[in-house]
Amino acid sequence: MIRYSLKRLLSLVLSLAIASVVIFAVIEVAPGDPASFMLGVNAQEDTLAALRAELGLDVSKAHRYLAWVTGMLSGDFGTSYTYRTPVAEMISDRLWVSLPLALFALALSTLIAFPAGIYAAARRGKAGDMAVMGATQLGVAIPNFWFAMMLVLIFAINLRWFGAGGFAGWDDGLWVGLHSLTLPAIALALPQAAILARVMRSALLDILGEDFMRTARAKGLSRRQALWRHGVRNAMIPVLTIIGLQFSFLLAGSIIIEQVFYLPGLGRLVFQAISSRDLIVVESVVMLLVFAVITVNFLVDLAYALVDPRLRSRT
Amino acid sequence: MSRNLVLGGLLSSLVALAALVSFVWTPFDYAAIDIPNKLKTPTGEHWLGTDHFGRDMMSMLMVGARTSLAVALVAVGIGMGLGVPLGLTAAARKGSWLDEVIMRGNDLVFAFPSLVIAILITAVFGAGAVNAIIAIGIFNIPVFARITRGAALSLWEREFILAARVAGKSSARISAEHILPNVMNLLIVQGTIQFSLGILAEAGLSYVGLGAQPPTPSWGRMLADAQTMVSFAPHLALIPGFAIILTVLGLNLMGDGLRDWLDPRLRVART
């Protein structure tokens, strides 16, 4: 297990290193010089040079890459070109919206998908199964931002149960914050719940045909007991993979949903940064998202190995 | 043929037909502004109503279908064009450093959701439909590479491949002549699924302004325009939304149906 973990850890570090090079290289291709963009076309040459020095743009690319990476490792993401404030601060402020939103959506998606998937598998081929499968077919076809607009129309504008947008913050308590994230989280969770329910159902159906399930029934467990004690537990491996993948999709997907609800999260930050050519912010947010994806996948790999010892020897 | 295939095929053909017809005919000029007739709900003249500039929704929807389908189709082309050869090569050289490099490269690309790729590309080159195509296309590459490699690996163990090797064929020739035709069905099914995901991704990207730019109509942009008017003109949001849902639903059903039709062995519990 230790050897397996170390090998995975090495590949994690390598992936992160390559990803950082790719992101840095792509942003470096960007035409134009941030300093002249900030100061306008009429800027004096010496003012430009001074600003370049201040932003750390006057050294070689390799130097800048190293400064960026070592900075990030110590929590220093550089200074925003537009706002002149530390990028790390801007990101951590926004993470307090995006991260809870993604986690809230993940929780909702799991809460919907598990019962739906288990119910459908237990009633394979019957009306209940058909209904769940039909609903999931629709669920994966609905764009989440459109669904978000419909939720606003129904629950914010017509019924007035929720606000149509904006974020109340966490200062007034957990409940107030969660309340303003409820509609966005539902919108974000719906397509993921549909996918997860399908995976849950098919993983369970695969397992229901296994010999150990027959043994479980033969030793006197009822269908329901066998399903819960042996079926659901063994179906967790594919389900865990999808949950891991979904977290990163939810974090990236929250970027779009934030636009619908005018939430001050990472999405708003990155779009403002794109329009003001604040490339250091774009670079850092993208790196953070990719870091999240790679790390979550690493954790899922480790979780597998814990759940299923057979996998440790395979790689 | 299954019910799914027929229903999905019908829905998808309908959308494709609307997109094709829009090249020669639309009820109105999609860009024609007609302020006196703005925000009309569906009438005999304007079948799907008009938007806040009085533009005909039906015409915009038809031309928007062109954008959606073109972006998603080319993105699938990029994914297949690069992903399939990579997958075939990795399988042919299983266990070699080349296989390892290709598969680790795939993992890396997989860590960049298409939205993140689009953000990067847009930050550098500005927004546009081409960037959306590239972003979705890049995201598709590892999907096709993985599925091709997975299917090809099991084929390499089969006797007819051994026979081809005995006959002196190179790995490249075997991949092209024997492996590829045998994974084609799988690729067609996956292509349909990626096509529908591409439609959703394109809509999302143009909704946040990273896709097609004005004046090119796209379903995502129609929804972005509709957002502030949803309280008094919900049809502006409902109509493009339904168009996206029906298209994606059609393609997904077609994918399911094709899978069953092309390969009866796959008629198992679908995920």
Is A72 domain-assigned?
no
**Whole-number pLDDT of residue B271:** 41
Q: d(Cα B196, Cα B250) in Å, to the nearest integer?
A: 9
**Whole-number pLDDT of residue A306:** 76
What is the DSSP-derived secondary structure letter of residue B40? P
User: What residues contact A80, with CB distance under 8 A and at least 6 apart?
Assistant: A86, A87, A90, A273, A278, A280, A281
User: 10 Å Cβ neighbour count for A6?
Assistant: 10
Q: How crowded is the C-beta side of A240, counted as CA atoms within 13 Å? A: 19
Please report, for chain B, the start and end positions of each structural domain, with discontinuous segments joined by +: 65-270
Is A18 domain-assigned?
no
Q: d(Cα B41, Cα B64) in Å, to the nearest integer?
A: 19
Q: Which chain B residues touch A293 with a CB distance below 8 Å?
A: 110-113
**Whole-number pLDDT of residue A79:** 83
Q: d(Cα A129, Cα A121) in Å, to the nearest integer?
A: 7
User: What residues contact B183, with CB distance under 8 A and at least 6 apart?
Assistant: B147, B148, B151, B152, B155
Q: Dig out the tokens for B131 from the structure.
A: 């960037």
Q: d(Cα A212, Cα A92) in Å, to the nearest integer?
A: 48
pLDDT at B49 over 80: yes
Q: Which chain A residues touch B227 with a CB distance below 8 Å?
A: 149, 260
Is A104 domain-assigned?
yes
What is the DSSP-derived secondary structure letter of residue B178? I
- Long-range CB contacts (< 8 A, 24+ apart) of A84-92? A87/A280, A87/A281, A87/A284, A88/A284, A90/A269, A90/A281, A91/A266, A91/A269, A91/A281, A91/A284, A91/A285, A91/A288
Q: What is the mean pLDDT of residues A57-63?
A: 82
**Whole-number pLDDT of residue A7:** 85
Q: d(Cα A277, Cα B124) in Å, to the nearest integer?
A: 9
Give the CA diameter of chain A.
86
The alpha carbon dihedral of A78, B105, A248, A294 has a sign of negative
Inter-chain CB proximity B204 and A145 less than 8 Å:
yes
**Whole-number pLDDT of residue A197:** 93
Q: Which residue of chain A has the CA closest to B229?
A: A153
CATH number at residue A153: 1.10.3720.10
DSSP A49-87: HHHHHHHT-SS-HHHHHHHHHHHHHTT---B-TTT-SBH
Q: What is the mean pLDDT of residues A226-252?
A: 81
Peptide bond into B217 cis (omega under 30): no
Is A240 domain-assigned?
yes
pLDDT at B168 over 70: yes
Domain containing A185 equals 94-275
pLDDT at A245 over 50: yes
pLDDT at B212 over 70: yes
Q: Does B115 touch chain A (CB under 8 A)?
A: yes
**Whole-number pLDDT of residue A124:** 87
**Whole-number pLDDT of residue A312:** 63
Inter-chain CB proximity B231 and A157 less than 8 Å:
yes
Question: A311 pLDDT band (50/70/90 cuts)?
Answer: low
**Whole-number pLDDT of residue A313:** 57
Q: d(Cα A35, Cα A52) in Å, to the nearest integer?
A: 6
Is A124 domain-assigned?
yes
- pLDDT tens-place string over residues A171-191: 888 888 899 999 999 999 998
Q: Which residue of chain A has the CA closest to B247?
A: A141
Is domain B65-270 classified as CATH 3.10.129.10? no
Q: Full-prediction pTM beyond 0.90?
A: no
Place of tokens 């870091």: A291
Query: What angle do helix axes B180-207 and B57-92 make, rounded to 10 degrees?
Result: 140
Is A83 domain-assigned?
no
**Whole-number pLDDT of residue B30:** 85
pLDDT at B47 over 90: no
Question: B266 pLDDT band (50/70/90 cuts)?
Answer: low
Question: B270 pLDDT band (50/70/90 cuts)?
Answer: very low
Environment class of A237 (CB within 10 Å of its CB; exposed 0-12, middle 13-18, buried 19+): middle
- The better pLDDT of the pair A37, A110 is held by A110
Inter-chain CB proximity A274 and B123 less than 8 Å:
yes
Question: A224 pLDDT band (50/70/90 cuts)?
Answer: confident
What is the DSSP-derived secondary structure letter of residue B27? S
Complex ipTM more than 0.85, yes or no: yes
Tell me how many domains chain A contains.
Answer: 1
Is A34 domain-assigned?
no
Taking only residues 174 to 203 of chain B, the set having a beta carbon closer than 8 angstroms to any beta carbon of chain A reads 196, 200, 203
Is A151 domain-assigned?
yes
